[in-house]
Structures are given as structure tokens and as C-alpha cells.
Structure 1
């Protein structure tokens, strides 16, 4: 791959330190903060959050982005609530930008942890394999941009899976970060816009519609982007058959 970056090699048990740190952080974070990463917690503290934002806007942005990155990096439950909070505090824009930035930083952290701990070794084994496994690895390598965008765009793919799976296929860090930032943008904008309207939801004593991304007027455009991302793969497959 022409734009690949050197993989950091760590020998012995040291390679597992990042993964262990993520697992410990996930356990500690879940135990201490699970009650704070909920819609009810947001509803109960909304006035205090708004007051703090109004008095310390830049500090609030910094704290929010770091908190979002930690939630994603440690795979804590509450990423959706964090996205809603971004919209609630900062509106659809720049709230979506803050959400995407935090999510990309967190996703990159867990990608690097997985790559350092076991991704590079598994990738090397896949590269040296034969048969259908090697063909599958080669197909991913030849269409990495499309595959990465599809991982991010398809709503059914869990965010954690999309963070870790690329580490197994020796995806270059720069390519991973670009496709993550751009690929999560549609879903992030949708949920951020839901968060931007939480003031009215709170006033009515209701809960937001988190299934909005599966409604036709939202899902169909995202599926269209998925088809666009898959188009290079389909064209290459067609050309390959014609050349046989």
C-alpha cells in the first residue's frame, strides 16, 4: 500500500499495555460513570450545563470533546447521549463538529491500542495465509477506502466493531482517521440535530426519538452513500470478470 505508515513494533508483554489500559479504563468508567451517561442525567442537569457553557464556552467545548473521546476510547455506554448533549449544548453546528472530533479521537485511540496489541500480528498472518483467507485480505487491501467508508456508513455495524476491525487489516492510520471523520458525519449530524431540539422534548417531558436514523427520509440517503462507497468495488469486480 503506497500510503502505508510504519507499524510500531513492541516486543513481549509490552504490546498488551494499551489494550489492558483500555480494558481497565472501560471497567472503571462503567462502574463510576454509568449513571451519569444517561438521558435522565442530561435532563436533570440541563440547566447547570447550560449555565456552565454560557460562562465558560471554550472550556466547555474542550471538556466535552475530551469526555466524548474517552467515552469512545473506553467503549463506555453513553456515546449516543454524548452526541445528543453536543447538539443540546452547541446546536447542530458546531455541535456536530465537536461530536465528530471527539468520536474520531476516541476511535483512533482504540484502533491504535488494538493494532499495537494484536492487530499487526494478525494482519501479518493474514498476509502470509493462502486460499480464501488470502483472497479476502487482498480484496480488502485493494478496496480499503470503500471498505472503511462502508463500515462507518452502514447503521447496522456496531461502532466498536468499526473501530477495531481495521486494525486487523493493517490499515494506515491516516486513512483510518480520514474515513472515520467523514464516514461518521451523516449519523452524527442526524443525532446532533435531535439533541439540538431537546429543549422542546424536555419541556414536554418526553424522550427523543433515537430510532430516527432508521426512518426512510434519513436511512435512504445514508444507504445511497453506502452504495456510492461500494461502487468502486462493484466496478472492479465487473472489470475483473470481463478480463477473465
Structure 2
């Protein structure tokens, strides 16, 4: 037998490690860091205050004029703005959906809002998965890994629930599934379906914003006639989001979790009768 050639020392880095220096791994995190910094800066700077019903009502004639001049361009601009808002996580998605409904009508506005919101969510999800997902799962404890495995088993139902019933900030529901290793296709489909009911509801509300304004003005006139002290209160989203709307989304969220509950019940061990 011929003598074997000596291999590289055990503590010597292999060709993969030499080809990928540590600083390149940090480059993957930079997009997420930049995204977080921009989001914090915009929220701290009061960007959410730029998107209010009062501002919309004050400029609604101008906005409708832009749509009449070139509808396709207006839709492209609205879509780009919506996607950007979702990517930087400014919490004004409800307002933007209502704006789409107001400018383009219930069905076109809802479809535009749903597609734009899904696109923005997929972008954030992709950044989070590329930058931090694998690293966090590799460097955290077994408890988070077990939680991630459980989330992945019922990923579609969990993401659907989070979309139907927005209990958590939108950025959290985008990055959480990315960190837990949810497949992109599952995330995108559950997001698309989950935001659709609310999208049509809010777009329909935006499409009838003139009726909401009339009701607000009637309430203001009645307040002034009764010598009220808070008659100049600004019109807010709380004025148009009714308890019935919230109850509808809660019911849909419960239905989204029903498959998870049924699956858990089927997996639960049955009681074994004891012998006498």
C-alpha cells in the first residue's frame, strides 16, 4: 500500500472558511440593521402623523384630480408608497388601505392595497430571513428552537391568524416567521389571504369617506347646538372602525386557528384504561 498524503491540520480552517471571512457574514446583517434604524427614525420623527384622515380630507380634491389626470400612474404611485410604508414599518396600513379605497373605489383599491401590503411584507420577510434567521436559531437555546419547530408545523394557520387579527405590530409578524424558518411560499400565501378581509372592509370604508365626513360634520353641528366643549375634535380612525368590524376580524382569526386546535387534539394521547 502506498503512503497516504498527510491532510491539513485539524485546527486549520478549511477552504470554505478561508473563502468566507467573518466580515462578509456581517454584511448580511446590514440590510436589517439599516431597515431598523430607518424605521426607528421615522416613527420617532412622527411620520405616522403625516397620514391622518384630516390631512386626507383637506387635500381630497387635489388627490382626486391626480387620479383623474392619470389613473394608472396614480395607482403606481400609491402602490409604491404603500410598499415603502410597509417595508419601513410605519403603522399606517389601515389609513393607506382606506386611501386606496377612497381614490380608486372599493374593489380596485382593496386589490391594490392587498397586493402592495403583501409585497412589502415579503420584502421584510426576505431581509429578516437572509440577515438574522439562521444565525438566531443557531445561537439561541433549545427553547426557541422548539418554539420555532412548533410554529413551522402549523405555519400557515399561525401566520393567517396574525394577519386576520393584528394583535402584534406588522413588522413583528413579518420578521417572526422569517426567524422561525417559515417557507416563503407559505408566508406569502397566508399573508395574502389573511389581509384580504380587512383590506376589503377598510377600502369600502374609504370609498364612502364622504358619508363619514357628513356624519362627522352633523355630529359637530349637534355638539355646537348643545353648547358642547369638545366639538372641534379631529376625525380619527376610531370614528370609522366599528365594534362590528373588530368582531368580524376576531371571528375570522378564531377560524384560522381551528385547524391547529383540531390537529393538537388528534395528536393528544388517549387515556389508557387501568386494569383491575
- Measured against the shorter chain, the TM-score band is 0.7 to 0.9
Partner of 2:57: 43
| C-alpha distance in structure 1 between counterparts of 2:235 and 2:51, whole Å | 15
| C-alpha distance in structure 1 between counterparts of 2:152 and 2:48, whole Å | 38
Which of the numbers 115, 121, 125 marks the counterpart of 1:101? 115
Q: CA deviation at 1:32?
A: 8.9
Q: Indicate conservation of the 8 Å contact 1:198/1:208, yes or no.
A: no
Q: CA deviation at 1:169?
A: 0.4
Change (3 A) 1:22 1:149: same
Q: Indicate conservation of the 8 Å contact 2:137/2:145, yes or no.
A: no
Which of the numbers 44, 67, 71 marks the counterpart of 1:57? 71
Q: CA deviation at 1:125?
A: 4.3
1:12 aligns with 2:38: no
Q: CA deviation at 1:212?
A: 5.4
Partner of 1:3: none
Change (3 A) 1:243 1:124: farther
Q: Which has the higher helix share?
A: 1
Q: Indicate conservation of the 8 Å contact 2:162/2:253, yes or no.
A: no
Partner of 2:194: 183
Change (3 A) 1:137 1:20: closer
Change (3 A) 1:33 1:213: closer
Question: What whole-Å deviation, never above 9, does each CA across 1:95-142 have from its counterpart, x for those lacking one?
Answer: 11111111111111222222222122123446xx53x54432322121
Q: TM-score, normalised by structure 1?
A: 0.83
Change (3 A) 1:28 1:226: closer
Which of the numbers 249, 256, 266 marks the counterpart of 1:222? 249
Which of the numbers 144, 148, 153 marks the counterpart of 2:164? 153
Change (3 A) 1:41 1:164: same
1:167 aligns with 2:178: yes
Partner of 1:241: 268
Structure 1: 5+ residue stretches without partners = 1-9
Partner of 1:121: 135
Q: CA deviation at 1:143?
A: 0.8
Which of the numbers 111, 136, 154 marks the counterpart of 1:143? 154
1:232 aligns with 2:232: no
Q: CA deviation at 1:93?
A: 0.8
Question: Over aligned residues, Cα RMSD in angstroms?
Answer: 2.6
Which of the numbers 66, 85, 89 marks the counterpart of 2:80? 66
In structure 2, the residue corresponding to 1:135 is in which secondary structure? helix
Structure 2: 5+ residue stretches without partners = 1-22, 218-233, 272-276
Q: TM-score, normalised by structure 2?
A: 0.74
Partner of 1:91: 105
State which drifts further: 221-230 or 144-153: 221-230
In structure 1, the residue corresponding to 2:50 is in which secondary structure? coil
Question: What whole-Å deviation, never above 9, does each CA across 1:10-60 have from its counterpart, x for those lacking one?
Answer: 942211221133235435655495553222221121101101101100000
| C-alpha distance in structure 1 between counterparts of 2:148 and 2:201, whole Å | 33
